[in-house]
Structure 1
């Protein structure tokens, strides 16, 4: 694509979300009714709201973030590349505050960009909505009010792959397969995160999964620009 990007100015990220409570019955009566209304079109007559609740994590109004993984190049040259990966997890409000601090202190310049796969449709607005719900002021990189399309500091690898085709959805797993990128999907997938979080209570497994996706987003952007893929020695987990 020859996008002429400064890779050291990009923050790659991925988020993992789950329903706000483990069980539908734990929601208030009003929240149950609102969820039923919100999902009426998707469910049709195939599922009751309770049966459909395991998918609630995809909506910021009924879900919460349990992990944000980020990755960034601390060096990017023909002689040396180092890609640092770290994660925020625990209580959602703390996750969001720590992520906001990272944006406000280290990725706050006009040249800085956020990059995710389907980030414009999911990750970026989801984080922004959950910040508002948690009474956190939006960092500039997520506050899009009044900005023109070309001023929005976001890169979406799925949007890049669309090449203007707005009807085209391509999963991360499919793109890694056709582009020869090592697949991150060797453990769990997004539909299993809620179970791993609530039943197994294994946040470390979710963090590992989230970090692999973050690395893969970086690999995609490298591949789109005909840059060599990252190898294990170039990736540092902190």
Structure 2
């Protein structure tokens, strides 16, 4: 089935998130209590709520998106290109810009969104943050009433599971075993908050995010048993 999909109909994406506020002290007293309750199970007795706040970016109720990177294939005159671009910075604006891309270029029933662990993280996170900003999620993210086979999402983690739902494989590990260059050349997800808030290097986060998008596309090519992308085929737009 994967071989029957047209690559140019897939939008590959990845998001980077951080805590909504730089410091725990910036939270309102009510939000501090809510965070303490929300994080209690994960942090147990090992961390206080304040110490654990640096991990708040993984929850859409306490985090925010600072980058959405996307990539798509283009086939012209017998050549293959993979085009990369990113929406970054202020969250509401990047969400609006991302929505515009979907509604103008990836709105047809045959268009698909693809991410690694996207069904559990990227797709719902984006939709929730849109609703928090009083935005209506585009049709590709609005799953209400859709049957499982109608959901326009591909997930490389799910594809690799082959039905083994208890199995989790990171993108870093998956690229390694498939012989794909690692996307984690500079930073990894655990460093994004520090790079963004402490060092102020958003562009460095964007580069990391784009490498993940490229890696996801390479995984799909590998699963289809097609040649991997060469550097000359990758275009930043």
Runs of 4+ deviating beyond 2 Å: none
* Aligned residue in 1 for 2:172: 173
The offset of 1:3, in angstroms, is 3.3
* Aligned residue in 2 for 1:48: 48
* Aligned residue in 2 for 1:99: 98
Q: Following the alignment from structure 2 to structure 1, what is the Cα–Cα distance between the partners of residues 198 and 44? A: 28
Cα distance change of structure 1 residues 44 and 109 upon mapping to structure 2, 3 Å threshold: same
Cα distance change of structure 1 residues 76 and 228 upon mapping to structure 2, 3 Å threshold: farther
* Aligned residue in 1 for 2:153: 154
Cα RMSD between the aligned structures? 1.1
Q: Following the alignment from structure 2 to structure 1, what is the Cα–Cα distance between the partners of residues 107 and 5? A: 17
3-state SS in 2 of match to 1:11 = strand
3-state SS in 1 of match to 2:4 = coil
* Aligned residue in 2 for 1:212: 211
Q: Following the alignment from structure 2 to structure 1, what is the Cα–Cα distance between the partners of residues 29 and 85? A: 38
CA deviation digits over 1:186-210, x for unaligned, max 9?
1000011010111110111001000
Q: How many residues align?
A: 237
Alignment TM-score, normalising by the size of structure 1: 0.98
Q: Following the alignment from structure 1 to structure 2, what is the Cα–Cα distance between the partners of residues 40 and 166? A: 26
3-state SS in 1 of match to 2:15 = strand
* Aligned residue in 2 for 1:3: 3
* Aligned residue in 2 for 1:71: 71
* Aligned residue in 1 for 2:127: 128
Unaligned 5+ segments in structure 2 are none
Matches within 5 A, 1:217-232: 217-232=216-231
3-state SS in 2 of match to 1:15 = strand
3-state SS in 2 of match to 1:114 = strand
Alignment TM-score, normalising by the size of structure 2: 0.98
* Aligned residue in 2 for 1:87: 86
* Aligned residue in 2 for 1:29: 29
3-state SS in 2 of match to 1:105 = helix
CA contact (8 A) 1:7 1:76 kept: no
